[in-house]
C-alpha cells in the first residue's frame, strides 16, 4: 500500500461505504419457540410474536422455562389473538415489555415508529371463537414477513404480494392449494404443528416445517 493513489482510493471507498451504509449488511434472526411463538431480533430490537403463551395449552407444544428466562428487557410482545395457546396474560404481565394485539390498534401504530426500520400492518382476519384476530405484515429493514396466526383461510395472505417469509399454519397451505390461491412469497415456514404432527410438503426448497422447537431462520438484508 505504498502507492498514494491506492491509498486515496481506499480512503474514498471507506468514506463512501460508511456514509451510505453499504458495508453493513445485517440479518434478522427468527427463533421458533413453539406453536406460533417466534422471537425476532435484528441485534438491536427484540420482538416476540404469540409468546409467551400457556405451555402445553390444548395439547400443543410445551416449552422450557429457559424460553421465558431468556426474554430480553424492553421486548415488544405482539399477539394475533388471546387464546391460551398463543397468549398468557399472567406471563405477559411478568415482563416489562408491552403487549400489542387486535385490542389496541392505536398502540400498534405507535410501535412502527418506535423500532428503527420497522413497520407493521395488521389485517383483521377471522378465527373461530376469537372475537378479534389479526394477521400481520411486518416490514423490517426492507424484508417483508407475514405472520398468519390462527386464521382459517388463505384469502388475506393471497392478497398480499412480494412476501419474503410467510409464517403460516399447515391448514393455510392446504386451503391455498385446494382453492388454487397463490401465496406470493419466497419462503414459507409452517408453524403451529402438534408435537410429532406430520405434514408432507412436496417443495422443501420453499417450504420448511417448524416441527423442532429452537429452529433458527436468518433473514439477510
* Residue ranges that bind Zn ion, judged by CB under 5 A: 85, 150
Q: How far is the CB of 193 from Zn ion (least distance, A)?
A: 11
Question: 46 or 148: whose CB is closer to Zn ion?
Answer: 148
Q: Is 135 helix (H, G, I), strand (E, B) or coil?
A: strand
- CA-nearest of 156, 218, 209, 203 to 183 is 156
Question: 42 or 150: whose CB is closer to Zn ion?
Answer: 150
Cβ contact 140:129 at 8 Å: no
Dihedral angle, C-alpha 148, 150, 79, 110, nearest 10 ° = 40
Q: How far is the CB of 86 from Zn ion (least distance, A)?
A: 5
Cell digits for 94? 411478568
Question: 42 or 85: whose CB is closer to Zn ion?
Answer: 85
Q: How far is the CB of 83 from Zn ion (least distance, A)?
A: 5
Question: 118 or 123: whose CB is closer to Zn ion?
Answer: 123
Q: How far is the CB of 61 from Zn ion (least distance, A)?
A: 11
Cβ contact 207:173 at 8 Å: yes
Amino acid at each position: 500500500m505504498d502507492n498514494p493513489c491506492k491509498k486515496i482510493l481506499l480512503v474514498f471507498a471507506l468514506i463512501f461505504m460508511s456514509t451510505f451504509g453499504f458495508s453493513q449488511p445485517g440479518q434478522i434472526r427468527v427463533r421458533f419457540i413453539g406453536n406460533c411463538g417466534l422471537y425476532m431480533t435484528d441485534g438491536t430490537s427484540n420482538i416476540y410474536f404469540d409468546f409467551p403463551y400457556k405451555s402445553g395449552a390444548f395439547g400443543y407444544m410445551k416449552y422450557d422455562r429457559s424460553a421465558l428466562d431468556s426474554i430480553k428487557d424492553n421486548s415488544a410482545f405482539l399477539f394475533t389473538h388471546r387464546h391460551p395457546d398463543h397468549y398468557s396474560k399472567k406471563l405477559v404481565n411478568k415482563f416489562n415489555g408491552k403487549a400489542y394485539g387486535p385490542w389496541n390498534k392505536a398502540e400498534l401504530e405507535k410501535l412502527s415508529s418506535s423500532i428503527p426500520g420497522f413497520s407493521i400492518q395488521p389485517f383483521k382476519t377471522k378465527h373461530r371463537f376469537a372475537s378479534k384476530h389479526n394477521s400481520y405484515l411486518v416490514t423490517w429493514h426492507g424484508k417483508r414477513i407475514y405472520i398468519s396466526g390462527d386464521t382459517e383461510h388463505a384469502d388475506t395472505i393471497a392478497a398480499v404480494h412480494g412476501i419474503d417469509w410467510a409464517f403460516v399454519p399447515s391448514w393455510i397451505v392446504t386451503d391455498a392449494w385446494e382453492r388454487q390461491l397463490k401465496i406470493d412469497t419466497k419462503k414459507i415456514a409452517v408453524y403451529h404443528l402438534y408435537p410429532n404432527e406430520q405434514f408432507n410438503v412436496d417443495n422443501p426448497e420453499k417450504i420448511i416445517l417448524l416441527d423442532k422447537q429452537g429452529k433458527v431462520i436468518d433473514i439477510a438484508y
